[in-house]
Amino acid sequence: IGKNSETLSQLRQLVAGLEGCYTPASLPERSAKTGQQRKAEVQAFTGNINGGQVHEIWAEEPEDTTPSTALILNALTETDEPFLWVTSRHQAHEHGLPYGPGLAIMDIDPARVLLVRCRDEKEALWAIEEGLKCPGLAAVIGELEHMDLTASRRLVLAARHQNQRCLLLLRTNTEPASAAHSRYRVKPAQSQPSAANTKAPGPSKAEIKLTKHRTGKRPSTQTMEWHHAQDHLSLLAPVANRTPSPRTATAKQALG
């Protein structure tokens, strides 16, 4: 009976996953080692998106929003503290709001999100600046389209004064002038064929390009991959990031 009960529980969890009914309690458990590896791999490239600084994640095109958001959320998995998410009516209408089951898959408790939806971008900038003055937050995240250098400097000063971390998701076609500590340009990348079916796409990938860093880090590009089985992001090694060349006739014969 115990074995049948365990099998039934596993089947229920599988069906819930297929139906998109994930809850934090029903998600597959992830080992501490996996979480540490994820943090070490991705944050080694992003230079540890630290507090007391403003970091920009640049989504130039609408399709860049998903991988850009994933990179931001990955930076929030190192702590259980709440974080402030500031958006505007326009941004929410065009791109939606943080989705609870999606946050849970990223190993983030949806209860941590303090969501502020402002009337316009001017009000959103004010809310971000005020949020940076609040202690006890893991970060302040802001969704913006237009931000001038003056507004950027105000956010930098607020972040430094409170030693708070500010992550800005910038949606703009042109690279803006700003006083931010770093900027990462994120866009989707071509995935490899699936290992199970060469005609199907493999794991989702995104290209992360460091375009600006106050400490003098040179511009560089890395590829980020989403692992569905473990629900985590990782960076691909340069060799693993190459498109596999087709097998030759000789190789096929050797393999039988």
Residue 153: strand, helix, or coil: helix
Q: Is the pTM of this model over 0.75?
A: no
CATH class of 51-239: alpha beta
How far is the C-alpha of 184 from the C-alpha of 137, rounded, in Å? 22
Cα dihedral sign, 83-161-46-37: negative
Q: Which alpha helices (H) appear in the chain, and where do they start and end? A: 2-18, 32-46, 65-74, 89-95, 100-105, 121-131, 149-162, 249-254
Name which of 148, 183, 170 is nearest 49 in CA terms: 183
Q: Could you tell me the pLDDT band of residue 48, with boundaries at 50, 70 and 90?
A: low
CA 160 to chain centre: 23
Residue 215 has pLDDT above 60, yes or no: yes
d(CA 159, CA 162): 6
Q: Calculate Rg over the CA atoms of the chain.
A: 20
Q: Please give the pLDDT value at position 200.
A: 77
Average pLDDT over residues 86-102: 92
